[in-house]
Chains A and B, each alone.
Chain A
Amino acid sequence: MRRVFRSGFIVLLLTVAVSVVCAAKKRAEPQSDSKFGAIENISVLPIVDARTGDKAGVSLEKLQRSVVNALKRKQYPVQAADSSGEAGEIAIEDVEAADPQYIKKLGPADARWVLIIFLDDVASKVTFGSTGNAKLSGFLFDKSSGELVWKGRGIGQAGQGGLMGMAMKGAMKGAALEAAVFNLIREIPKRPKNG
């Protein structure tokens, strides 16, 4: 009898774990654009922590790796940059203004395409279960021309109801961040094949 209960509990646990649904509604793949075909190598700059208040509990390096992997899946040659370059601390206002002189200072000197990701917010909470939300903003620049190639916003939601969901609160931030990365990079069209 105990064995039956134990197996039942394990099955339940696995079912709940698998069903942590990220609210990423399926949308059509963005149309490919010739300007994305010209991209040879994207440098993903260190994630800019643009959260307000307490900034604990998130590995920005891991988040950067997630972005790199998501871009690789879109067939882009991509690498993670170690520093934000000559520009120093990046403010979202400077990036939104997209002054070509400022853009040229972003990232490694030899990089042409730079992707800047801002972590706007990430949080989790307990309700009748637990939920997590994450918000990211992304900007892709061509440093040679100072042009903004792409910008987007990625919002990730995760959550599970019930007592098991309540116990899973610790995993919600990570799940929401993964969903936000997925939603953000989804807006970039798959790299068109040259020739």
Chain B
Amino acid sequence: MKTRSSMSGLFYCQLCRNAVIVLITLVALACSASAAEENSTTQPGAQPKSSSGSQASEALAPASATNPAIPETATAPVQLKVVLLKPLVRLENTRSGIKTDFGAATMFAPTITNVGLPHDRMRSDGSYESLLLNAAITGVGPKVTLLDPRKLEPSVVEACMKLGSLSSRLARGNVNEEALKALASLDEQSAILVHFLRVEGGGPGRSWNPNSGAITSSTDSTLIQAALISGKTGKVIWKGERLIRYKALKPTDEALGKVLTELYGNFDIK
């Protein structure tokens, strides 16, 4: 009887141990899957990445693996002269539907002079706009000649003001007739660099219902688009975009700087 009892105890002990092992394995699996996908920036089908490093770098990794800035291959004219338009920043409240545009695209980037612009001349007011401009200067500056807006001809200034108002579509490479007309004022060796940043926040957030087990993810997102468009022809020389889901990034977020660096990571024109 005693033996039978101890056998039974041993059986239950082993059963419990096995159950614990299975449970731990499942939890570990769940954790690793979650860590890889929690901060996904991405398009559907992103590959999970094993967790290491900071949260920001984890957030960016899948995007760089699966959703690189799209190199719109085209041959750029030799010694391309680029007019850097002031970025259009749109803050959007998902719940109320209110959209607020900043950085009226009718102005030029104020501090651009030429290639090799020293960092102390870059803007550092901590705004989205300054972050975008600085990233553009750093990423594009060494490869092209950035034009000084103060030295542009009045017709070009007028054209660029018109183009600036079309920033949201131009930045994704959508060049319409209106833009083509304005671009005709530029010469063949000139191009415009357009930026659009949309930060969508204030929508339904993440949630967990302990009764039903239902969970939801945040609907916030940050979209950055940039395009280099040739003058005269309106051909898209290069374009890049990054969509960061589940997060409305602030200018102070380290992740935003990393995304911008990535955006220009493959900026290569011949």
Residues of A that sit less than 8 Å from B by CB: 16, 19-21, 23, 52-54, 56-57, 91, 93-94, 121-129, 131, 133, 135, 153, 155, 157-163, 165-166, 173
B97 part of interface (Cβ distance < 8 Å):
yes
B44 contacts A123, C-beta separation under 8 Å: yes
A52 contacts B223, C-beta separation under 8 Å: yes
A127 contacts B215, C-beta separation under 8 Å: yes
- A94 neighbours in B (Cβ, 8 Å): 176
The residue from A129, A135, A162 contacting B219, defined by CB atoms under 8 A apart:
A135
The residue from A21, A23, A125 contacting B40, defined by CB atoms under 8 A apart:
A125
Which 9 A-B pairs have CB atoms at the shortest separation, nearest pair first?
A: A54-B43, A21-B214, A157-B216, A53-B43, A131-B217, A159-B215, A161-B215, A161-B213, A125-B37
B243 contacts A53, C-beta separation under 8 Å: yes
- B225 neighbours in A (Cβ, 8 Å): 52
A129 contacts B213, C-beta separation under 8 Å: yes
Which of B26-34, B126-134, B185-193 lines the interface with chain A?
Answer: B26-34
A23 contacts B204, C-beta separation under 8 Å: yes
- A53 neighbours in B (Cβ, 8 Å): 42-43, 67, 70, 241, 243
A123 contacts B34, C-beta separation under 8 Å: no
Given known A-B contacts A53-B67, A166-B30, A160 and B219 have beta carbons under 8 A apart: no
A159 contacts B217, C-beta separation under 8 Å: yes
A-B contact pairs, 11 of them (CB 8 A): A23-B207, A54-B67, A125-B37, A128-B34, A131-B216, A131-B217, A133-B216, A133-B219, A160-B213, A160-B214, A163-B26
When chains A and B are docked, how far (Å) is the Cα of A54 from the Cα of B243? Answer: 11
The residue from A93, A124, A162, A165 contacting B44, defined by CB atoms under 8 A apart:
A124
Q: How far is the CB of B184 from chain A (nearest CB, A)?
A: 20
- A91 neighbours in B (Cβ, 8 Å): 169, 174, 176
Given known A-B contacts A56-B44, A91-B169, A155 and B219 have beta carbons under 8 A apart: yes
- A165 neighbours in B (Cβ, 8 Å): 213, 215
Q: How far is the CB of B105 from chain A (nearest CB, A)?
A: 12
B214 contacts A166, C-beta separation under 8 Å: no
B214 contacts A161, C-beta separation under 8 Å: yes
Contact string, B10-51, partner A, CB cutoff 8 A, digits 1/0? 000000000000000010001001100110101111001000
A127 contacts B214, C-beta separation under 8 Å: no
A57 contacts B44, C-beta separation under 8 Å: yes
B216 contacts A19, C-beta separation under 8 Å: no
When chains A and B are docked, how far (Å) is the Cα of A118 from the Cα of B76? Answer: 33
Q: How far is the CB of B223 from chain A (nearest CB, A)?
A: 6
